[in-house]
Structure 1
């Protein structure tokens, strides 16, 4: 007798470039802000300093601290790398909004009875402000977890804690995100169902090196596409 496939009980969402357009708003806003300081340091225009950052992003990839590269390139004191990074990170976050279909999708998933968890990495104060400005709160999520990138527990450990807290098995959880080498790698290693959101600089970076990684189980262009996944109707991934 064929065993019934596991039922999806929970969905873990990433925040940046998954529920709102981080690449097209805050990343560019941060580069603009850092451009002023770079221009003063290397004696160029702010537009040239802005373009320099975009060129460095393209050359070295999204996981590189480009300010270390700029400091080295122009023989600046190493302390400027951290100062420029702080300039990039600590920006005005007003005016950001979730993608148009996000709220309705979250509500529909909640009504269907799925446990919903938001997991994001970064400066806790900044990430909390983003969540508040976006209007994402515990009305939509059972839990909101903010980890400090590279300093607190890994995403894998974070996901393990979530599963333990809510008595979940990996195959009962979908992880939705845009970063193949972060939340998607961690969730895949645990045996969760992985869903890549096709948006932003991390997704574009993935397209260039996708042969290096295990392919996510699903790809979506809009958050609302989650509602149409057959896995939510208890079909196994390999049945699609």
Structure 2
């Protein structure tokens, strides 16, 4: 049974692998970058170090810190874990572009009087650089929130802030993202309508574990599909 979307007043968007291709750009770039250091530490080729990162994530899941596993596997000094993670994260933010239809979709949603929010996780400066590089700081969103790594506040806490900020009930909000165990789970727990975007490494993990209890209300293949779901006369 489909949900009634006639009462929707706001849409929350994730950033990475939802509004642009992070898995195919910055993730690859970061792993290629840190592969040089890993290769020296464990005496292998850079290509082998690159594949090792991918293999460990495939085995242990997208939430694992592959660099902690590498440190343990090769008996490296514990400090190497943070060093490798920092090198992976601090990749050059360039040559990234929004998926087709993103700006047009945001503009149409604004015209239709929806409140729009961007909630993204990661290092504050890195995420800000991504937002600026993608041209998303130009008043498309009513509020942009960055969930910093290793902090107590999680996406669910920021979603609650959005509800208070906009005087919104959970059932009046759509949450769009690619991570079933992050923004989709947070949205479902609060009672929001959830839309899973079919792209990237987190979505592939979802496909491999379809038996998991958390399921999105809808799935979409392109961001413009949101307009079809919330179609409302301008």
TM-score by length of 1: 0.92
Instruction: State the shift of 1:152 in Å.
Output: 3.9
Matched, 1:105 2:105: yes
Alignment of 1:193-204 (within 5 A): 193-204=193-204
SS in structure 2 opposite 1:103? helix
- For residue 58 of structure 1, what is the aligned residue in structure 2? 58
Instruction: State the shift of 1:24 in Å.
Output: 0.4
TM-score by length of 2: 0.95
- Of residues 4-13 and 66-75 in structure 1, the stretch that sits farther from structure 2 once superposed is 4-13
2:112–2:232: 8 Å Cα contact kept in structure 1?
A: no
Alignment of 1:8-23 (within 5 A): 8-23=8-23
CA distance in 1, matches of 2:5, 2:16: 31
CA distance in 1, matches of 2:70, 2:231: 46
The alignment covers a number of residue pairs equal to: 230
- For residue 25 of structure 2, what is the aligned residue in structure 1? 25
- For residue 136 of structure 2, what is the aligned residue in structure 1? 136
CA distance in 2, matches of 1:209, 1:58: 12
Instruction: State the shift of 1:222 in Å.
Output: 0.2
Instruction: State the shift of 1:213 in Å.
Output: 2.6
1:177–1:196: 8 Å Cα contact kept in structure 2?
A: yes
- Of residues 151-160 and 62-71 in structure 1, the stretch that sits farther from structure 2 once superposed is 151-160
Alignment of 1:1-240 (within 5 A): 7-229=7-229, 231-233=230-232
CA distance in 2, matches of 1:26, 1:6: 37
CA deviation map 1:98-147 (0-9, x unaligned): 10111111111111111000001111111000000000014211110112
- Of residues 10-19 and 45-54 in structure 1, the stretch that sits farther from structure 2 once superposed is 45-54
1:122–1:149: 8 Å Cα contact kept in structure 2?
A: yes
Classify 1:5/1:71 alpha carbon distance in 2 versus 1 (closer, same or farther; 3 Å): closer
CA distance in 2, matches of 1:29, 1:227: 32
2:117–2:144: 8 Å Cα contact kept in structure 1?
A: yes
Q: Give unmatched runs, 5+ long, in structure 2.
A: none
Instruction: State the shift of 1:210 in Å.
Output: 2.1
Aligned-CA RMSD value: 1.5
